[in-house]
Amino acid sequence: MAVMLNRQLRRMFHQVHGLSAERLALSAAVVSAGISCGCLHTRKMHRVNVLSGARHNYSEDIHAKKFLLSESGLNHCQVSVQRCVWTCKEETSWTEHRVNQPSGRARLCVDNSVVGAELLTSLDLEPMSVQECHSRLEGVFQACDVSEPHQSAQYLIAHTLGRKTLHGVDPLTVLSVSQLQDLTTLSSRRLTGWPIQYVLGEWDFRDLTLQMAPPVFIPRPETEELVSHVLDDPVVKNSERFIEVGCGSGAICVALLSERPQLFGLALERSAAACRLTTQNARTVGVEQRLELLHRTLEPRTFQEKAFHEEFDFLVSNPPYIKTADMDHLQPEVVDFEDHDALHGGDDGLNVIRIILQGAAHILKPNGSIWLEVDSGHPPLIQTFVEDDRSLGLTYEKTYSDFRGM
């Protein structure tokens, strides 16, 4: 792996000087690996930093083994690389490099990818059993402070075998060299902190397997339950049309459509990437005929449109509900890679929820339902909001805490 990187890196960096900022993007892993391989000089690094501007790009080129990062990621990369360069010069240890952006929020473990890349090189030397591979990969992840090392290793190895988990796989199964190479590719991405769902490009939601792509929000287990509650509602059995606000990857609407063949849905989504993903998922599951997708940002006047008047039997949403104060305390995988527009709900987390509630009565049929996933502190606030303002035309029904009862 080290040898391959060297050659490719050298090729890449020969090209670097000729490319404009728009077309260049480098991952911290590759860069750091390059440094550790000694094929990069500090001066060139600085030039790379200047050249690699602030472009926001999520495509992938497997042949050149280029991994692309978000805009914020690139910024980290620049800073981290500088740090690494200096450290390299000073020959201090790699272990503690937590880089803080001015906002105090973001960090990226470049050092992990360096150490990891070196450890990973040993993986594809010769075919090995699933068992051994799993324990070694778990060790690498653990050493590099990757969260959930055991599960990450499991899912990655299972993916190279064409499966979802390692259950039922004979631990003595031998992984071929090409499989190990695939694994190394996936693992090095995981080492830079990419959520597993993005690394694999897919994840399960209830009965479905949906495509995932950064920075589109990854559906959570709690949302699987939201769909359960909706489906349990007797009203839904007789429903025809529903609307979803903020569909993201399309998990909720596609799951509802696939489990209730009589339903038709309309989904609103502000992110183009999310719209693309939702369309893709709807197509794969086979429900795209019954789903209408609107690429639109939700505003107070959105629901006032004539076309929407009393159109829907119910509204469902997992809106961004995180308070500003909490945005600093999110899991790194979340804050570094998922779209903040899908997370941040304003100072109290209720911005989007308020807009939904204010316009809901207009678009719902009489006795139509609203199903929302909200933060734990929200129910009393929302209940008061709804009951104090009768002009909203809504009544509070029930709150379901998650199944653990907390």
Partner 1 sequence: MAVAVMHLRKIASMQMEFCAARRLLSAILLRPRRLTSLMPTRTFLPTRTHHYLSHQLPCCGLTANKCTHCHPSGSAMKSLQSMTLFSTKADNVLSFDNNESELMQYLDHLLDEYNVTTLKLSSVGEKSDDEIHKLNKIINNLGLLVARIEKMKEKRTELHELTAIIADVSQSGQEMVEMAELELKNVKEELEDLEQEILMMLVPYGRADEHDIILEVSAGVGGKEAMLFTNEIFNMYNNYAAVKGWSFDVIEHDPSDMGGLRKASAIVSGQEVYRHLKFESGVHRVQRVPQTEKSGRIHTSTMTVAVLPQPSEIDVQINPKDLRIDTFRASGSGGQHVNKTDSAVRIVHIPSGMVTECQQERSQLKNRATALKILRSKLYQKELTEQETATKMKRKLQVGTGARSDKIRTYNFNQDRVTDHRIGCNMHNLDAFLVGGEELDEMIDRLLMESHKEELLELLLEYKDSIKSPKVASKSGCS
Tell me which H or E stretch contains 294: strand 291-295
Secondary structure class of 315 (helix, strand, coil): strand
Secondary structure class of 243 (helix, strand, coil): strand
- Tell me how far, at minimum, the Cβ of 133 lies from partner 1, in Å: 14
- Tell me how far, at minimum, the Cβ of 299 lies from partner 1, in Å: 20
Nearer to partner 1, 298 or 357 (CB): 357
CA distances to 186, 223, 279, 287, 362 from 253, rounded to whole Å, are: 29, 11, 11, 9, 21
- Tell me how far, at minimum, the Cβ of 222 lies from partner 1, in Å: 4
- Tell me how far, at minimum, the Cβ of 363 lies from partner 1, in Å: 9
Nearer to partner 1, 145 or 375 (CB): 375
Nearer to partner 1, 151 or 178 (CB): 151
Q: Which two tokens stand for residue 387?
A: 């009951």
- Tell me how far, at minimum, the Cβ of 227 lies from partner 1, in Å: 9
Nearer to partner 1, 61 or 207 (CB): 207
- Tell me how far, at minimum, the Cβ of 369 lies from partner 1, in Å: 5
Nearer to partner 1, 33 or 316 (CB): 316
Largest CA distance in the chain: 70
Q: Which residues of 292-305 are buried (b: 16+ CB within 10 A; e: fewer)?
A: ebeeeebeeebbee
- Tell me how far, at minimum, the Cβ of 350 lies from partner 1, in Å: 12
Report the half-sphere exposure of 180 (CA within 13 A, side-chain side): 22
- Tell me how far, at minimum, the Cβ of 316 lies from partner 1, in Å: 10
Nearer to partner 1, 60 or 233 (CB): 233
Backbone angles phi, psi at 293, to 5 degrees: -115, 130
Backbone angles phi, psi at 203, to 5 degrees: -160, 160
Backbone angles phi, psi at 92, to 5 degrees: -95, 170
Encoded amino acid at 384, one letter = T
Secondary structure class of 263 (helix, strand, coil): coil
CA distances to 91, 359, 390 from 305, rounded to whole Å, are: 64, 10, 21
CA angle 229, 234, 238 (to 5 degrees): 120
The contacts of residue 23 (CB under 8 Å, 6+ apart) are: none
Asked if the bond preceding 215 is cis, omega within 30° of 0, the reply is yes
Phi-psi region of 210 (alpha: psi -120 to 50; beta: other; left: phi over 0): beta
Nearer to partner 1, 178 or 395 (CB): 395
Nearer to partner 1, 48 or 315 (CB): 315
Report the half-sphere exposure of 186 (CA within 13 A, side-chain side): 25
Bridge partners (DSSP) of residue 80 are none
- Tell me how far, at minimum, the Cβ of 46 lies from partner 1, in Å: 35
Nearer to partner 1, 16 or 392 (CB): 392
